[in-house]
């Protein structure tokens, strides 16, 4: 159905807003303050991860989680080989 100017069926208020995304809901929940400790849920969660990384023996995933977020993940490279592509001598495409 083509657009016609002045059509009564046009939604003049625009598209209704969507619900918040899961990341938005988690972020707002993580900023709530725990009544017992006075710390945010985010602070409590980070403390729990640190505790797991420092226990004996440490939880490997917790150590990697902390290092990835403080030092950054190491750069990864991948070599792609196309078996269908003919090899041309004298040309290096890597």
Residue 64 CA, distance from chain mean position: 16
Residue 10: predicted pLDDT: 78
Tens digit of pLDDT for each residue in 17-75?
777 788 888 999 999 999 999 999 999 999 999 999 999 999 999 999 999 999 998 88
For residue 64, what are the CA distances in angstroms to 30, 44, 60, 77, 83?
Answer: 21, 19, 6, 19, 35
| Angle in degrees, 0-180, between the axes of helices 41-54 and 60-70, rounded to the nearest 10 | 120
Residue 13: predicted pLDDT: 77
């Amino acid at each position: 159905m083509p657009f016609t100017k002045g059509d009564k069926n046009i939604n003049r208020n625009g598209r209704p807003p969507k619900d918040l995304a899961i990341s938005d809901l988690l972020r707002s929940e993580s900023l709530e303050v725990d009544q017992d400790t006075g710390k945010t849920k985010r602070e409590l969660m980070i403390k729990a991860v640190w505790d797991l990384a420092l226990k004996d023996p440490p939880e490997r995933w917790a150590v990697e989680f902390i290092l990835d977020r403080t030092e950054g993940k190491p750069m990864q490279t991948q070599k792609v080989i196309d078996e269908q592509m003919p090899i041309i001598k004298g040309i290096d495409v890597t």
